[in-house]
Amino acid sequence: AQKITQTQPGMFVQEKEAVTLDCTYDTSDPSYGLFWYKQPSSGEMIFLIYQGSYDQQNATEGRYSLNFQKARKSANLVISASQLGDSAMYFCAMRLAGNNRKLIWGLGTSLAVNP
Amino acid sequence: DVKVTQSSRYLVKRTGEKVFLECVQDMDHENMFWYRQDPGLGLRLIYFSYDVKMKEKGDIPEGYSVSREKKERFSLILESASTNQTSMYLCASSTQGAGWPRGTYEQYFGPGTRLTVT
C-alpha cells in the first residue's frame, strides 16, 4: 500500500540545536516526489523542501535539509540551528506518478523548540 | 507570490444549513484541492479538481460537493451541515508540471477555514 509514516507524534529540541524528523514511505512506483510542509499554530501550511526520486543529491533549503535514503525508503527532515519560530506541526507527503495530482500525507510530527 | 485565499477564517453554522466555502487562487493553477484536518487524523482529501468543471472524489467525499465554474475558484459545499463536519478546511492549488518529478510543483495552501457546526 502506498503510505507515509511519521513515527514521532511529538518532539522537543533545545534552541540552536539540530533536530531530525522521521518520514518513511512505501511505494513500488519508481517515480515519486517527497515533500515536507510546516504548519504553525496559525494553521497555514508552508512548503519547506522537496526531493524527487531521481534526484542524486539530498535537497537543501536554508536551514532545512532532506536526508534521502532511497534503499531504506526514508526522507527525514533535518532542521539545523533550531529557532523558537520552528515550533509547529511538520508533515511529510508523497506524490506518485500513477496519480500525480494528489499527495499522500503522513499524520505529522509536533515539534516544540525550548528556549 | 502565489496567493490562495479562502472566504472566511472562522465560520459558525447550524445543523442542517447549506454551507459554502470559497477558495480563490491567482496563479492560473490547473489543480485545486479541498482537505479537512482533524486532530490526530492529518490531512484528508475531500475533492480535487484538475480543470474547470472537472472534479474527482478524494478519500472522504461523503456529505460534500464541489463546484469549479472558473479556473481560479473552487467551492466546497456542505449540502446539509452536520456536527461531525466541524473541522478545519484547507484549500490548496498546484500546477501540474510537465517535468515532474524533476521539479517541485508543490501545493500552495490557503489560510484555512475553521468551521463549527452547532
Q: What is the mean pLDDT of chain A?
A: 94
pLDDT at B2: 65
pLDDT at B96: 79
Interchain CB distance below 8 Å, A33 and B42: no
Interchain CB distance below 8 Å, B101 and A102: no
Interchain CB distance below 8 Å, A47 and B106: yes
pLDDT at A100: 66
pLDDT at A101: 78
Closest CB to B101: pick one of A42, A52, A103. A52
Closest CB to A53: pick one of B40, B101, B103. B101
Low-confidence ranges of chain B (pLDDT < 50): none
Residue A98, pLDDT above cutoff 80: no
Q: Residue B15: CA atoms inside 13 Å, Cβ hemisphere, count? A: 4
A64-69 mean pLDDT:
97
Chain A residues lying within 8 Å of B88, measured CB to CB: 43
CA angle A108, B38, B94 (to 5 degrees): 70
Please tell me the distance in Å from B93's CA to the nearest CA on chain A.
10
Segment holding B65, helix H or strand E = strand B64-70
Interchain CB distance below 8 Å, B94 and A52: no
pLDDT at A2: 87
pLDDT at B97: 73
Percent of chain A at pLDDT > 90 equals 83
Rg, Å, chain A Cα set: 14
Q: Which residue has the cell 536551514?
A: A63
Chain B residues lying within 8 Å of A52, measured CB to CB: 100-103
Burial environment of residue A62 by CB neighbours within 10 A (0 to 12, 13 to 18, 19 or more): exposed
pLDDT at A106: 97
Lowest mean pLDDT across A1-5, A106-110, B67-71, B109-113 = A1-5
Interchain CB distance below 8 Å, B48 and A91: no
CB distance from A35 to chain B under 8 Å?
yes
A53-68 mean pLDDT:
95
Alpha helices in A21-111 (DSSP H): none
Interchain CB distance below 8 Å, A44 and B112: yes
A40-58 mean pLDDT:
93
